[in-house]
């Protein structure tokens, strides 16, 4: 199994099974309902874990919650902690509705502050950081490898967070003194009341769970600089090897004229789930290689819905016998986790009626439900119809309540393109 690594700019072979494979994927900053683009690193992490476990690896996935951040203070003056707690629940609900479960650990920055303070003290003691007026900054000049991950020359690194208190324009904050007029949460530290910077949170949360070395660090390409460059500096300057492979996913982009007309303002994962349903969204994300950009539009979603339907319809046919061609699917995923290629193999099996192989492949991606059509009893259909009416009346609170009621009875209601729905027994 090999994966592309941003640091070495090459494909890197994973250690043989059982590993272990310890993966840290940067999670959301919780101040609003998650953007649909946030689903991508989540899904890549969950799918990779699923595949690696299937192939005999011992895998642990950590997905952190950034619940201390300027965006949260800005979004909810005077009530930032309440907003962060609510948005954390939204994120867990919405990603949970993708039907793949959750990461093994979901650490929160607010629960890691004492460890963050200790880590910063170690950086100061080693000469890699300095305190000024209640702030603490990382001294970039003390870490000659700085810029390697993002491909910048150390002496020409882009300035971050301009601030006259810094020794050097490239330095970045590890600890920020409390600003009472805008920040309603703070923690005590040797430098006074304040709160951690974003980058140090991830170095500490990763190392708290994994120790100083782990196999894969994931996140969007937009995080390479400064976020991940700074994580590398914080950890490696203390001699911790930190991540062996840096896996950065391409960004989701909105395209297409039709988007605005037919889909309204779908930008959140919640909206996307309600509009297209779980299966269509999963198939959509499989259609692009994880490192490439992916176009989110009415056209690409409609294509994904049609693909999901083709795969589902395959199970209405009589299965055909044949040899074990699993390797075509495995080869695609072992080669830099090439899901478009794996999806093409699944479609091949659908047309060849190799339903046993098709079901096994779909399971990896949380799509086994495509193989499970079962007639719903009348009272379940009645609840589903009520929910359709509530949605048509834009009474989303009732609609959500009815969906939860169905879930409690063991049925998942899936919205399909074109306004239809299907009912699937949850297994
Ligand atoms: Zn992070």
Distances (CA, A) of 322 to 104, 317, 347, 356, 401: 37, 15, 16, 10, 46
Supply 376's token pair: 């719903």
Answer yes or no: are the C-beta atoms of 59 and 97 closer than 8 Å.
no
Would you state the pLDDT for residue 259?
46
Q: Classify strands 21-25 and 213-220 as parallel, antiparallel or unpaired.
A: parallel
* Long-range contacts, stretch 379-385, CB < 8 angstroms, 24+ apart: 380/406, 380/409, 380/411, 380/423, 381/423, 383/409, 384/411, 384/413, 384/421, 384/423
**Which has the closest alpha carbon to 33: 313, 266, 238, 319?**
266
Q: How far is the CA of 200 from the centre of ligand 1 (A)?
A: 8
Q: Is the pLDDT of residue 19 over 70?
A: yes
Q: How far is the CA of 302 from the centre of ligand 1 (A)?
A: 33
Q: How far is the CA of 168 from the centre of ligand 1 (A)?
A: 23
Give tens-digit pLDDT for 25-56. 999 999 999 999 999 999 999 999 999 999 99
Supply 37's token pair: 């683009």
Q: How far is the CA of 318 from the centre of ligand 1 (A)?
A: 48
Supply 278's token pair: 């779980």
Would you state the pLDDT for residue 161?
81
Q: How far is the CA of 205 from the centre of ligand 1 (A)?
A: 9
**Which has the closest alpha carbon to 206: 180, 169, 232?**
232
Q: How far is the CA of 65 from the centre of ligand 1 (A)?
A: 9
Would you state the pLDDT for residue 266?
64
- Show the CA angle centred on residue 370, arms to residues 368 and 373, nearest 5°: 110
d(Cα 317, Cα 325) in Å, to the nearest integer? 19
Q: How far is the CA of 358 from the centre of ligand 1 (A)?
A: 36
Q: How far is the CA of 224 from the centre of ligand 1 (A)?
A: 10
Give the sign of the dihedral formed by CA 256, CA 262, CA 263, CA 264. Answer: positive
Would you state the pLDDT for residue 262?
43
Would you state the pLDDT for residue 374?
60
Give tens-digit pLDDT for 166-197. 999 999 999 999 999 999 999 999 999 999 99
d(Cα 140, Cα 142) in Å, to the nearest integer? 5
Q: How far is the CA of 317 from the centre of ligand 1 (A)?
A: 46
Give the sign of the dihedral formed by CA 152, CA 252, CA 50, CA 87. Answer: positive
Q: 225: which DSSP letter? A: I
Q: How far is the CA of 231 from the centre of ligand 1 (A)?
A: 8
Q: Count the neighbouring beta carbons within 10 Å of the beta carbon of residue 122.
A: 13
Q: How far is the CA of 241 from the centre of ligand 1 (A)?
A: 17
Q: How far is the CA of 54 from the centre of ligand 1 (A)?
A: 27
Supply 348's token pair: 């091949």
Q: How far is the CA of 64 from the centre of ligand 1 (A)?
A: 7
**Which has the closest alpha carbon to 3: 286, 196, 282, 290?**
290
d(Cα 44, Cα 364) in Å, to the nearest integer? 12
- Show the CA angle centred on residue 381, arms to residues 380 and 385, nearest 5°: 120
Q: 343: which DSSP letter? A: H
């Amino acid at each position: 199994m090999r994966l592309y690594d941003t640091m070495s700019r090459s494909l890197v072979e994973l250690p043989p099974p059982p590993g272990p494979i310890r993966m840290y994927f940067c999670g959301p900053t919780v101040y609003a309902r998650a953007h649909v683009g946030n689903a991508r690193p989540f899904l890549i992490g969950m799918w990779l874990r699923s595949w690696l476990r299937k192939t005999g690896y011992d895998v642990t996935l950590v997905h952190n919650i950034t619940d201390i951040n300027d965006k949260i203070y800005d979004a909810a003056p005077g009530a930032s902690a309440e907003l962060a707690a609510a948005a954390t629940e939204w994120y867990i609900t919405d990603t949970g509705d993708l039907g793949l479960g959750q990461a093994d650990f979901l650490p929160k920055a607010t629960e890691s502050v004492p460890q963050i303070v200790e880590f910063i003290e170690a950086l100061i003691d080693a000469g890699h950081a300095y305190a000024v007026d209640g702030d603490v900054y990382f001294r970039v000049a003390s870490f000659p490898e700085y810029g390697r991950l993002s491909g910048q020359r150390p002496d020409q690194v882009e300035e971050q967070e301009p601030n006259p208190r810094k020794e050097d324009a490239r330095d970045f904050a590890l600890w920020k003194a409390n600003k009472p007029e805008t920040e309603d949460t703070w923690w005590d530290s040797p430098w006074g009341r304040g709160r951690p910077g974003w980058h140090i949170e991830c170095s500490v949360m990763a190392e708290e769970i994994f120790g100083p070395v782990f196999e894969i660090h994931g996140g969007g390409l937009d995080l390479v600089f400064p976020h991940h460059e700074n994580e590398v500096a914080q950890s490696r300057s203390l001699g911790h090897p930190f991540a062996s492979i840096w896996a950065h996913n391409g960004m989701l982009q909105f395209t297409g004229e039709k988007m605005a007309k037919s889909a309204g303002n779908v930008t959140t994962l919640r909206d996307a789930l309600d509009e297209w349903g779980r299966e269509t969204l999963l198939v959509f994300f499989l259609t692009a290689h994880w490192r490439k950009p992916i176009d989110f539009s009415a056209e690409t979603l409609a294509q994904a819905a049609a693909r999901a339907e083709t795969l589902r319809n395959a199970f209405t046919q009589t299965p055909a016998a044949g040899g074990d061609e699993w390797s075509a699917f495995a080869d695609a995923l072992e080669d830099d986790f090439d899901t478009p290629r794996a999806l093409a193999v699944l479609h091949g099996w659908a047309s060849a009626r190799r339903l046993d192989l098709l079901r096994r492949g779909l399971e990896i991606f949380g799509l086994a439900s495509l193989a499970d059509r079962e007639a719903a009893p009348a009272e379940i259909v009645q609840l589903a119809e009520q929910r359709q009416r509530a949605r048509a009346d834009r009474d989303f609170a009732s609609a959500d309540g009815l969906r939860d009621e169905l879930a409690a009875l063991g049925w998942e209601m899936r919205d399909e393109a074109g306004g239809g729905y299907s009912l699937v027994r949850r297994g």
